[in-house]
Structure 1
Amino acid sequence: MKPAAQSVSAQNTRPNEATPSLALYLHIPFCRTRCTYCAFNTYTGQDKLIEPYMRALAQEIRMVGDTDRRPAHTIYFGGGTPSLVPADLIALTLAACTETFALADPTEITLEANPATVDLEALKALRRVGINRLSIGMQSANASELALFARGHTTDDVRETVRLARRAGFDNLSLDLIYGNPGQTFEMWQTSLDAALGLEPKHLSMYSLGIEDGTPMQRWVARGHVETPDPDLAADMYEWATDRLAQAGFEQYEISNWAKPGYECAHNLQYWRDLPYLGLGAGAHGYAGGLRYSTVLRPADYIERMTTQHEPLPFPHTAAWLDSEVIDAQGEMAEIMVTGLRLTRTGIDTQAFQSRTGRSLWDVYGAQIRQLIRDGLLEQYGNHIRLTPRGRLLGNLVFEAFV
């Protein structure tokens, strides 16, 4: 049986290789509850807006394409909690993508799902309309941490969601985990990662908890209600996890991401390679046409704007834009370094850098690179410059050298 994604893209022509293929990020800002660490553009109690929002999103997709069927090879429904959206409305947006862009065959189409927000029939419906990759927000296998995060699901819910997803025909499953949490012991982290491995995902994303301004977690830490996370302990957790995942057959391809061979996330690789992507929906961010931009935040405002846009604007503009920034040549080179060095295996290809920018990497950043090599944070590997294992722990220090 053909992958469901092919039903979305079968009528499309193959992308023109001379035109950079886009990644499409579709932001779904609705949640049942808001996690205590979350600083994303998300909203609770607005379920009545889901249908008009998805219709507005389909309109933005059609309008942003201008008059050309530009090539695209990934679609990513992020949030928020995209698994709250009925499959028929997901299909509506995928149809708009098919009409507007020359989708690759097959296209990687990811949907983020929270455990216990989908049943078997909903998962089967998502598979039928073209979703071929699920990213499931597990976060922890410890009840106390899930309560601290206000996640609203249990570890049993995670297991059941994975089981049902496989019954529905999903093979490409990714799990998210968070470490370095207030009060988290090393043993608690080992329990979470081993539980995740027991579910046999193809991909794992693991993030050190960031204490973001304006979140309940930030207020609790500031007031002493919960412990301040220990960065040294988090570093130990990261190093142990790196070894544990290698033993389990996972390859680390980015600072926070591991995959079984062939299951790297093509959508996120677009970001790390500093290649163009469209961010669509309320509070989305995009990078295309030499511009970085963001869109209006509130779903109601977004819907209102999109209902008034009836003609395409010059690519990549839409009526949803809030602000934008032109990326000049120096800014582009800096972004290539900051994003590309996150790729742990390949890092920065010196020949590709020169081909893209017209400048020698060593002429532009030679002094910084040589110093970071002396500091043990970067290494040269053939034509590539990449982070050392120590550099992965101190990535922000490395990135600051190029900004």
Structure 2
Amino acid sequence: MSNNQPGADVRHLYIHIPFCHRRCAYCDFNTYANMEDRMEAYVTALCAELRSHAPLSRAVAPPLPMTADLTRAMLRPTIFLGGGTPSMLPDALMARILSAADAIVPLDSAEVTVECNPGTVLARDYLRALRDLGVNRISLGVQSLHDPTLRVLGRIHTAAEAYASFNDARAAGFESINLDFIFGLPGQTVEQWEETLREIVTWGADHFALYALILEERTPLYAQVISGRVTVPDDDVTAVMYECALEHFAAAGYVQYEISNWARTDDPSSPVPTHACHHNLAYWLNADYLAAGAGAHGHRYPQRYVNVMGIDDYIARVSAGESPVAEITALTPRDLAAETMFMGLRLNVGVSATHFRDRCGVEMDAVFGAELAELAELGLIERDERGVRLTSRGRMIGNRVFERFV
């Protein structure tokens, strides 16, 4: 089905920094607190893994102009440092990582994002150092503007500190700043959420990522909810909260381009707003990407891989000259087609026939003709000569639509 080869261009790189001051009550990511003494050894191992990836890199062509037939070739190259809390790293260690990453994805042509916790970004000098190192996008994990809720979540910042960190990032020269928020939080009401929405649209951020709370079984918050010590809004209330976000961001001039993401745009005619996150677009367009670090997940069709989770295990393997990869999953052409459809349908522009053909080497109707016809009849998707996308109704029950392709 696919004409993609394992040696195809790799334009995207994810780097995992697993350190945290404290694990949040809702977090199920691969993160570790009180292990700052491992930072230097971890960065040394991380740079060694990045050097092993360097031969896989290719000359990166300039992205094509954005059109409604959105494809992988329209994306900027990207580097994304996530965690964990990458902003815990001293700037000298960050410099080593970015220097190694530059051999894979050239910094001067890339969108380079660093996730930051407002509780760790305390100095404009640090932010300026990141900017000078080639970082051009900051993502601040604010999550809530309600201080009691932040304490329940185990966050180490206040709402005032989050706003100060945002202003410091802007003063340091960052022209692309994302803010993460969660809704459906413990004790949260629709009125509280609307108050938050009214406040955050006044900040002037370039991008927002809003996610409904997911209770992961291995987290303290899950145990608190199951035991009845904490209550969270039900699905109907969180749906109302989502609709409130749609209304507030639209009124403030932000463009929704993916189910959970909004951005400012300088070109209202473009199908993707100016400040969209190209790294996340790469995921939704099912592009190949390399990954490095403990627990990092990478994708190079026809394989998906994940590194060992533990910091010490990761350091030991790489230091011994061994691969840190713990598991490789083989992907079939059908897997590629399914992922291209349900990931791409998260985008407001949907999946173009051009993109599906480019990624999978076949027309989408040849694989999913029956499923697409049924979903269109149910009013969950709409089709035109360009491709397929979710309707407003389909967007509200997106997971049910995505299941049809698995």
- When normalised by structure 1's length, the TM-score is 0.90
CA drift of 1:67 comes to 6.4
From 217, 222, 243, the equivalent of 2:221 is 217
Aligned partner of 1:274 in structure 2 is 286
What's the counterpart of residue 73 of structure 1? 77
**1:114 partnered with 2:117:** yes
CA contact (8 A) 2:10 2:56 kept: no
CA-based RMSD of the aligned residues comes to: 1.6
Task: Tell me, yes or no, if structure 1 residue 174 matches structure 2 residue 185.
Answer: no
Q: Are 1:288 and 2:300 an aligned pair?
A: yes
More displaced 10-residue stretch of structure 1: 351-360 or 56-65: 351-360
1:26 aligns to what SS in structure 2? strand
**Which deviates more, 218-227 or 205-214?**
218-227
Which of the numbers 11, 35, 46 marks the counterpart of 1:57? 46
State the secondary structure of the residue aligned to 1:89: helix
2:20 to 20, 23, 31: 31
Letter in 1 for 2:388: I
**In the TM superposition, what is the alpha-carbon distance from 1:353 to its structure 2 partner?**
1.5
Identity %: 41
**1:65 CA drift (Å):** 2.3
Distance 1:145 1:376 in 2: 38
In the alignment, the residues of structure 2 paired with residue 29 and residue 360 of structure 1 have an alpha-carbon distance, to the nearest angstrom, of 40
Question: How far apart in 2 are the matches of 1:358 and 1:75?
Answer: 27
Amino acid in structure 2 at the alignment position of 1:276: D
SS of residue matched to 1:239: helix
Q: Tell me the distance in 1 between the aligned counterparts of 2:358 and 2:196.
A: 43
Matching residue's letter, 1:297: M
After TM superposition, the structure 1 stretch with the greater mean CA deviation from structure 2, 122-131 or 381-390, is: 381-390
1:39–1:214 CA contact under 8 A, matched in 2: yes
8 Å contact 2:188–2:232 — kept in the other structure?
no
Query: Which of 279, 295, 301 is the equivalent residue of 2:313?
Result: 301
Matches within 5 A, 1:158-197: 158-197=162-201
Aligned residues: 376
- Aligned equivalent of 1:87: 91
Q: Which amino acid aligns with 2:363?
A: S
Contact between 2:140 and 2:178, CA under 8 Å: does it hold in 1? yes
* 1:356 paired residue among 359, 374, 389: 359
Q: CA deviation at 1:362?
A: 1.6
Does the 8 Å contact 1:254/1:343 carry over to 2?
A: yes
**Structure having greater relative contact order (Cα 8 Å, sep ≥ 6):** 2
Pairwise CA distance, 1:281 = 0.3
In structure 1, runs of 5+ residues without a counterpart are 1-17, 310-317
CA distance in 2, matches of 1:115, 1:339: 30
Residue identity in the other structure for 1:308 = A
Distance 2:55 2:142 in 1: 38
CA shift at 1:278, angstroms? 1.0
Distance 2:256 2:366 in 1: 30
* TM-score of the superposed pair, with normalisation by structure 2: 0.89
Alpha carbons of structure 1 residues 102 and 167: separation in structure 2 relative to 1, 3 Å = closer
Q: Is the 8 A contact 1:21 1:70 kept in 2?
A: no
Aligned counterparts of 2:8 and 2:275: Cα–Cα separation in 1: 25
CA distance in 2, matches of 1:59, 1:340: 33
**What secondary structure sits across from 2:55 in the alignment?**
coil
Alignment CA distance shift 1:82-1:381 (3 Å): same
Structure 2 residue runs of 5 or longer lacking an equivalent are: 1-6, 61-75, 266-273
1:390 aligns with 2:393: yes
Equivalent residue, structure 2, for 1:8: none
Query: By how many angstroms is 1:22 displaced?
Result: 2.0
Give, in whole Å, the separation in 1 of the partners of 2:107 and 2:389.
30
Tell me how far 1:165 sits from its aligned partner: 1.1
Letter in 1 for 2:393: R
User: Structure 1 residues 355, 79: closer, same or farther in 2, change over 3 A?
Assistant: closer
- 1:143 shift after superposition: 1.5
